[in-house]
Amino acid sequence: MNNEARKNSSGEKIVSESLKLFSLKGFNNTSISDILAATKMSKGGFYNHFKSKEELFTAVLSEARRVWRLQNLADVDKEDREIDRLKKILANFRDRYLKDAVHFPGGCVFITLSVELDDQMPHLSSQLSDGFKRTKALLKGYLDRAKEKGEIRSDVSTSHVSEVIFSCILGASVVYGMDKSDSQLDRNIKALIHYLESIESGA
Amino acid sequence: MNNEARKNSSGEKIVSESLKLFSLKGFNNTSISDILAATKMSKGGFYNHFKSKEELFTAVLSEARRVWRLQNLADVDKEDREIDRLKKILANFRDRYLKDAVHFPGGCVFITLSVELDDQMPHLSSQLSDGFKRTKALLKGYLDRAKEKGEIRSDVSTSHVSEVIFSCILGASVVYGMDKSDSQLDRNIKALIHYLESIESGA
DNA sequence: TTTGTCAAACCGACCGGTCTGTCTGTATTT
DNA sequence: AAATACAGACAGACCGGTCGGTTTGACAAA
């Protein structure tokens, strides 16, 4: 069975529909009934694929990470300079990730879930926290290499800058989740790229 | 009856305990039973003060805003320069607001609620969205006046900078809600203040 | 001071409905 | 025939909210 066929299997459909619903309504407020309605399945069918809602959570998170990488890292390696790769990620984040209503109609699912579950279901939210740390490290990696290659000024603290960029991305996601305003998101990312350009060597 | 006495009344206690619970578990996942247990009241007592859970929501939000102003704007007017007032707000945000586990044990309640309710109960989340807009405008006001007074460079876009600062604050709140890491929060705000100093006239 | 009155506050059993998860039975596939 | 997938009735816990009854405290009449 190839991957395309798997995508149409029941299990895959449950995961992709649950991903949408989780991004809209979160984990606890998405009922199994909601998922059954979206997938046109029945209880028996669902519990034949997942032994519990929490097991579904893990599968959904894994799929969400796959989509995240797919969208945010697209074409990044086509850029030559490290700083341009970072800018490409920001542009991807804006155009291919946050605005991707097919996968995430309710906005960034990682934020929705982490905010909901942090004080309530730590065993689930720790999976999210790890992802956030990896993402920040990913950003810092580009900055560190950019600094090594002299693309950004040598007096710049990559640690400080990555903190700012990462927090800004999170903040922009929160705002976009509320307003769904493309223009506001564009302003937000523009300000961030403007900030990045202010630390480049030529600036 | 003075304000101090009112604070101990049942209605006030319901609101303050609900504020804590909402910051921890959100709106839908805080049950009336949770609130009754925290206040040692009964159903009948509760519904004698609020005709519905949504009416409680509005009261809690109003109290949350009061505490927000109290903590974040404390001593701000003691600073002479506008840019220092802004820095004072950031320091308050870090020391007196986010770390204020008495009022907000689960972190910033506005973020918890807005992320939960944005796609689910728009009539409630719009109250939150308005507050976010006002906060961003508040920050931009300090920057605009700082620019007028020559405290920051004339080539700086106050609009861009306020976008970055506001998004960073939101992002920092999301992270702190997850990790409850004081040191991470300190690094975050430090990077932000560092950013502010980079646009000052002397820099 | 004592008593009667009344409204607000409080109590908790109860209601209809929804939640996750189970179980029995049936259809499809191999 | 055996294994797998689907269907949906059902269970038990919990949800927000209602309601009849009880307690409390302020105040007026005696």
Summarize pLDDT for B153-192 with one digit per residue, the tens.
Answer: 999 999 999 999 999 999 999 999 999 999 999 999 999 9
Cβ neighbours of residue B22 closer than 8 Å, sequence gap 6 or more:
B30, B60, B106, B109, B112, B113
Q: Give the angle A182-B145-B64 at the CA atoms, nearest 5°.
A: 60
Query: Can you tell me the mean pLDDT for A76-81?
Result: 96
Contact A92, A76 (CB under 8 A): yes
pTM value is 0.93
- So what's the pLDDT on residue A7? 40
What is the tens place of the pLDDT at every residue in A92-145?
Answer: 999 999 999 999 999 999 999 999 999 999 999 999 999 999 999 999 999 999
Is the C-beta of residue A6 closer than 7 Å to nucleic acid chain D? Answer: no
- Sign for the CA dihedral angle at B2, B7, B12, B13 comes to negative
* Protein CA B2 to sugar C1' D20 (Å): 34
Give whole-number Cα distances, B39 to A90, B5, B13, B51, B61, in Å.
46, 17, 7, 17, 18
- Report which secondary-structure segment, H or E, holds B42: none
Q: Chain B: nearest CA to A46, how far in angstroms?
A: 24
CB atoms within 10 A of CB A17: 20
**How many Å apart are CA A99 and CA A178, to the nearest integer?**
13
- What element of type H or E holds B82? helix B82-92
- Taking only the tens place, the pLDDT of each residue in B79-111 is 999 999 999 999 999 999 999 999 999 999 999
- DSSP secondary structure code for residue B107 in this structure: S
Q: Is the pLDDT of residue B20 over 60?
A: yes
Position A8 scores a pLDDT of 58
Out of A24, A120, A132, name the one closest to residue B119 (CB).
Answer: A24
Q: Provide the positions of strand C that have an atom within 7 A of a protein CB.
A: 8-14, 18-25
Q: How far is CA B93 from the centre of its chain?
A: 8
| Measured distance CA(B117)–CA(A174) in Å, rounded | 12
Angle CA(A112)–CA(A118)–CA(A119) in degrees, nearest 5? 135
Q: How much is the mean pLDDT over chain B?
A: 93
Q: What is the pLDDT of residues A182-194, one digit of tens each?
A: 999 999 999 999 9
Q: Please give the Cα distance from B116 to B110 (Å, whole number).
A: 10
**CA–C1' gap, A43 and C30, in angstroms:** 25
Please report residues contacting nucleic strand C, using a CB cutoff of 7 A. A 28, 30-34, 43-44, 47, 51-54; B 10, 40-45, 47-49
SS3 of residue B3 by DSSP: helix
User: What per-residue confidence (pLDDT) applies to A2?
Assistant: 31
Give which of A92, A98, A103 is closest to A177, Cα–Cα. Answer: A98
**Distance, CA of B118 to C1' of C15, in Å:** 31
A200, exposed or middle or buried, with CB in 10 Å at 0-12, 13-18, 19+? middle
User: Quick check: B30 CB within 7 A of strand D?
Assistant: yes
What mean pLDDT value characterizes chain A?
92
